[in-house]
Structure 1
Amino acid sequence: MQQVHDLFLNKLVLDYDYVFCITTTRTRSGIHDNAVQASYTILNDYKPVRSAAGFNTPFMLRVIDSQNVFAGVGVPVVEAARMRAAGETPPRIRAHLENLARHTHGYMVAPDLNYLRNRIKKRGDKSVSFLSAALGTALDIKPILHCNQGETEPVAKVKGFANASERLFDFAARRVKAGLFSPTLCMSYGGPLDEMRKLPGYDRLREACAANNVEVYESFMGLSGLVNVGKGALVVAFASEHKGFD
């Protein structure tokens, strides 16, 4: 919490008038609650700092729970930047982001079920049971996990990582064609992005996004993500009406 407090008072309150802090879902991380607690002291302490720098206007800070994880956090972040560039007001941006977070869906395929289960179990997540992990590893069955509004659950089981990735890519392509709530699709991968781009179905998803004016943002999975879900995990996220996984 102190690190968040210091970052804002030493830099952000001097560089900006209004800041949105978009966090990983509070159900999977303490970052959101720490940011909320830090925001109280920041809003109490910022005035002398800004005054000393010659700023007499107020500073505003809002902490928003993305209600998602990994690439899912990127969807509201991109939307916030897009709305700011379009000249939208902070209240309109805030209301839109909070609504968008409720409709953001993140999907993940992890190659190592035993590693994934052991890590998420420590956080109280029961998306992958011991039996599922044992059988899945023995039979090379990979679950596709879904996160929305802070809750995670398996929505499909597919034999082989490549096949599971293809099914996820094709599902995402259908959602893109049906229409998203924001023109953004985010992907993250726990390895070189060239590996992800060679997975079956990837090209079809990119073609669907290009045809429907949806921007694609790809990133190497962050260190905390790699630690929690393992090397080689694939995540695809977007905001849309939820109609189940097909």
Structure 2
Amino acid sequence: MQETLILADAACDMPRALMAELGVRTVPFRIRAGDRFVADVRDEPALPSLYAQYLVGKQDHYAESIPLLEREIEDHLLKHVVTSCDRALLLTIASSRSKLYAHASGAVVGTVAKSFKARKDAGRTGLFELTVIDTGAIGPGQALIVREAARMLGGGASAQTVVQAVETRLRDAAHMFLVPDELLYMYTRARHKGENSITWGRYMLGSAFNIRPVVHMHRGQTEPVAKARGADEGMRRVMAHAQQCIRSGRLLSPAVALSYAGPPGAIQALPAYQSLARTAQQHDVELMLAPMSLTVALNVGAKAFGMSYLCENPPAFE
């Protein structure tokens, strides 16, 4: 029987403890700030210092997350993956948000071709198999898809069944909601990238009236669905929406994922989170609260909050 491993890139906002429990491994991103480079490997203990270094008060200090190149992905897999399993499923951040999926897809042939010698030296026979899947999600949405794939695999499902589930059901069901806190950071980031998601007028209006957008992401596409008076009100509405999904029994998988570009304890202290936790416990739904990956946080700023669920027919956001 072939051994199959689930891989996720560092943008996947799954708690490290859960990743270890499910046997999920990480493919890193690279962070560039000027002429300095650091690796984003979802090192949770290091994230507070990384936030302080690259996010807090850094509106004019541009840092960016860069996906590994094809040859670098090959090298990583040959060194860390191909000798420990026979097949791997790499579930990537949305291809609309990063070139990692394209680079990883380009690395498949080289990785497989070069795996024979390494596997033979490790006492394994045959070529390594690699499947790359675009989750169409980021952060907590990606985490839910990875969680479900790993649980299916652990329950005895074949790799082919898992791939089919992701591509035909889970990807379509992943919904993410984002509430940014630092509008100036998002404005300068959007301007640097040539995007119009936050214009100068929207930034000035939001700052003057303490308005924060609630952004919805589905299948790699984003759109604002509401405006909130302050980030706390935005987070409250997002978590109330999650409670509505739980109570209506619409979740495709009994889990809700949350991430925060700051200390998770700040979220746990919120009455809205405590209410969500009680509802989740009453309905046997798992809450996955994790610090936001540096790769995702670099695009949305410090203290940004994200929440995701899997649902084929979600209620309207109120």
The question of a shared fold, defined as TM-score above 0.5 by the shorter chain, is answered with: yes
Q: Which residue does the alignment assign to 2:33? A: none
Change beyond 3 A, Cα 1:26–1:53: same
Higher helix fraction (1 or 2):
1
- Residue by residue over 1:95-124, the C-alpha shift from the partner in whole angstroms, topping out at 9 and shown as x without a partner, is 112220121011110111221132245445
- Correspondence for 1:35 among 100, 104, 116: 104
Superposed CA deviations along residues 145-174 of structure 1, whole A, max 9, x for unmatched, are 111111011000011211111111000111
Matched residue of 1:244: which SS? Answer: coil
The one of 253, 260, 273 equivalent to 1:202 is 273
* Separation (CA, whole Å) in 1 of partners of 2:252 and 2:196: 29
Other-structure match for 2:309: 238
CA change 1:180–1:122 in 2 (3 A) is farther
2:252 is paired with a residue whose SS is coil
What is the aligned partner in structure 2 of residue 181 from structure 1? 252
Contact persistence 1:32–1:65 (CA under 8 A): yes
1:37-83 deviation per Cα after TM superposition (whole angstroms, max 9, x unaligned): 11221122212221222211442211111111121110111112211
Which one has a larger percent strand, Structure 1 or Structure 2? 2
Contact kept in structure 2, 1:127 and 1:145, CA below 8 Å = no
Q: 1:125 to 1:152 in 2, by over 3 A?
A: farther
Alignment partners' CA distance in 2, 1:173 and 1:119: 32
CA distance in 2, matches of 1:117, 1:39: 37
- Aligned-pair Cα RMSD in Å: 1.6
Identity of aligned residues (%): 28
Q: Say if 2:158 is the partner of 1:89.
A: yes
Asked whether the 8 Å contact 1:112–1:137 carries over to 2, the reply is no
Give unpaired runs (5+ residues) of structure 2.
1-68
Gaps spanning 5+ residues in structure 1: where? none
Letter in 2 for 1:202: Y
- Provide the secondary structure at the position in 1 that maps to 2:88: strand
The letter for the 2-side match of 1:219 is: A
Deviating beyond 6 angstroms after TM superposition, the runs of 4 or more aligned structure 1 residues are: none
Equivalent residue for 2:300?
Answer: 229
CA contact (8 A) 1:128 1:154 kept: no
Q: Work out the CA distance in 2 between the residues paired with 1:115 and 1:51.
A: 50
1:113 alignment partner in structure 2:
183
**1:58, 1:209 → 2: CA distance?**
44
Residue-pair matches, total? 246
1:45 aligns with 2:114: yes
Shift of 1:237: 0.7
